[in-house]
Structure 1
Amino acid sequence: MSQPIISRRPLSSIISKLVLGGAGFSTQLHPDPASLPVRDIVNHALKLGFRTFDTSPYYTPSEELLGDAFSHPDIVSRYKRSEIILMTKVGRIAALEFNYSPAWIRYSVNRSLDRFKTSYLDVVFCHDIEFVTDDDAVAAVGVLFDFVDQGKIRYVGVSGYTIDRLVSVANLVKEKYGRPLDAVQNWAQLTIQNTRLEEEGLTKFRDAGVDCVFNSSPLCIGLLRSGGVPIGSLGDFHPAPPGLREKVSQASEWLESRGENLASLALRFAIARINLASPRPPGACTVLGGASIWEIDANANAARMILEASKENAGQHGDIRDFELVRSDRLEADEELVLGFRRIIGDWFNFGFTSPEAGWNILTKKMNDQPRDNQYRSKL
């Protein structure tokens, strides 16, 4: 990719409302991700208007597959590097392996640069910070800030499941470095099943100076769809207990009896809520999944159902980038379905997973009770 000029405009001024996540190109979610037509999928996503892509070295081999796609002549000839926002992560290596040392953070960033064949990365997150100490995470952010000063990274963020840990690190970063985090990414806590991000996190992130909040996994790693959770080559890692899975399955059947699809409804709900949240962060984004052209189309169609273009943006791009305002008519039509879903899941509404799981030691970064029966029962 060509060498651009690195700018430091606020991330919220350049980010798109919808982000395509790369976890679907991993062994966690697919038995053979190398067999996927990733070049064709990325090319199709670009044609639909996706310009922001999120992945992680932990999502093996997603970085390599996406790097191959973005460096392919068919894509390079059509899209400038400056049009694409590449987001990746550092710190998490495997289900039970983390390395937040400065040396590893530097190695991981440089490896990602090589994999994407680019001179810079747009956003780099410290991955799943609840598995390490706050000091580990803050120090790693400092290393990433050094990369920003060198022009190899544009924006820095942290990601994870546990909201209070994300808030804590965001405040500590601002206090220590005198500059806030550009972004926070939280997964599966602004969904049709769990709205804790909106209730417990957004105000605190705003107060910590965070510019962009990314709501990832709006389908809760494939739980909120028909057919059950995805099973990759590593087995069933999903943290949802059997009771929650059963209630979601019942709710999915109820929706289908009314001509509705759970995945589409859940996506519409998540997209609407992050954009209507109060206080709404300057950058409010939804990270969607998809490991096939069919899935990408389904996700884009769900977004079109709940979003519309403003008068100013109508026809500007001719694709999903124009859609940014929540449609009140669709929101009203979905309300009864959302309430019906929640009646069925009952007490499982706002149920949260334990992350990290009991027995994890954030100081040693190991399980206290190894070996474990299922080392993969850990989230993406």
Structure 2
Amino acid sequence: MLLNSHNEHNGAVEVDEVEIEVHNNPGGGVGLQPERQTVLEKLKGLSFLRQQDAITSKDCTHSGSDQRVPDETQINPNLSCGPFDATMEDKTSFDECSHGNAEVLQIITDLQKRTEALEKKLIGSDKEILSLREIFKDSGRKVQQLEYIVDELQFKLDSSLAHLGNMCNTLATPSIFLIGGYNGVTWLSSLDSFSPEKDAVLGLTPMSSPRSYASAAVLDGHIFAFGGGDGMSWYNTVECYSSRNNEWTECPSMNQKKGSLAGICLNEKIYAIGGGDGNEFYSEVEIFDPYLGKWICSPSMLTSRFALAASGLNGVIYTSGGYDGNMYLKSAERYDPREGFWVRLPSMSTRRGSHTLTVLGDTLSVIFSDTSDLFLGR
């Protein structure tokens, strides 16, 4: 019997050749037959184990791990074991190793997914932080703008309060009001108050529209401005100014559009006298009754008068001068509401228009100017 026990390339004894030789020499000794059978069985088991070791080594090499087979799994060569038992134990170890590797791979995959999700959340958080920073910066700019606006409004409020205080102080004294007019360039809607006592002019709230060649009268502490024009058209509109509120209010309009008319307040009524529209010159008189809230007609003058002067004294209305469409007049007339008609008066010494008729004591004074002098008469 020849045994090649040092053939490492094959990794096992040629067990089949041994079996053939045993069968060919059945009579090689009766006492050696059990011993040969035992050796044969051991050789089979050793060959099988080496084959399994080779398979396990290859699998471990491919998986990249140098795992050493635990001592408990090694077969004691002194123990008799069958090839089936060795195969089942090695297969169980292999299955356990494969199962463990699959669990590790699954854990790694889960960790990678969680890492990717955290990275995405981190990127989103960074974007949100940048957005919040921009919002914070923009809010800071808006706060600065609001602070600037508040300071500006506070300054305007302080100025308005100071102006209101000055206005109240000025209006508390007897004042002359300058309403509208024309400055040679612009038709004016302005309202100014002049205090002779303080020798100060105070600008007040202007009218709603420019108004020149208008007339004005005071009724119940309110200033009424009516008629006039803006150089393009004549008005029949009326505005009322309240010194308490420093504001203008629209009032009922007159029946006719007219300018260069005269206006006075008598017996708690406003009289709009004469005037014209540039083409016609009126002798008509309109009365505004605040209790009726409208303008009503009154007896007309004896003569048409444009750019006339009028004043009231002792409950009687006086008119003088003006333009009748042909010439300037020096005539005068009066109207007593108790009589209900007009009466002609002695004429002035000079023809005049756009002049002023005012009361001084119990005397009417006529003031006019031209390029040469200032005339004062009674």
TM-score range, shorter chain: under 0.3
More strand by share: 2
Q: TM-score, normalised by structure 2?
A: 0.24
Whose relative contact order is higher, 1 or 2, with alpha carbons under 8 Å and at least 6 apart? 1
Kindly name which structure, 1 or 2, has the bigger radius of gyration based on alpha carbons.
2
The structure with the greater share of residues assigned to helix is 1
TM-score (norm 1): 0.24
